[in-house]
Amino acid sequence: MVASELSSVQTRPIDFVCNSEARRVMNKVKDLQEEMKDCGAVDALPSSIQLQCVGIHKPTWERKSVHEWRAEILLSLGTLAQDVRSARTLSQPGCRLNLLERLERSINNYLHVVRLLHIEQGEQVVPQAERCLGQPSKDLGLVLKNFGRLLTGKLEWLIAEMAKGC
């Protein structure tokens, strides 16, 4: 399943960390946004998706350990995957269903890679992440934008810290 949309990219976590091109190719948000435009009026979802907190308050974020960053990102991705799955099961066959399937697959790819990231430094106990949720939304365009910001924000901060070992 992880390699389902990663035809030319190695799916090893070290490649994800050390190769920005692999991350760029893996990020399907822009493709999904373009496909959504081509589909027409598919942005209204059958159920709400809880938007994740994607903003970073730099002083607070920097006080957290890399383990806490990963736990927070995993919680955000897991919650998003669950909500997208719920919306997908309520969708009729067609363009929106296809978009939700691809979005869910993309989120699950990220979940898989982030779970496998090997973090050596600091504590080995996985901390309990704070649940930080924004507003619920039935707007697929807003969900995609929020997911993209999670990837280019919090996830890239984690990767930048881990890439120091490349």
Closest by alpha carbon to 52, among 166, 164, 146? 146
C-alpha–C-alpha distance, residues 119 and 84, integer Å: 28
The 8-class DSSP code of residue 122 comes to S
User: Residue ranges per domain, the chain?
Assistant: 2-165
Average pLDDT for 92-96: 88
What is the amino acid identity at position 51? L
Q: Which residues of 10-113 form beta strands (DSSP E)?
A: 44-52
CATH class of 2-165: mainly alpha
Q: What is the pLDDT of residue 128?
A: 56
pTM over 0.85, yes/no:
no
Q: What is the pLDDT of residue 84?
A: 96
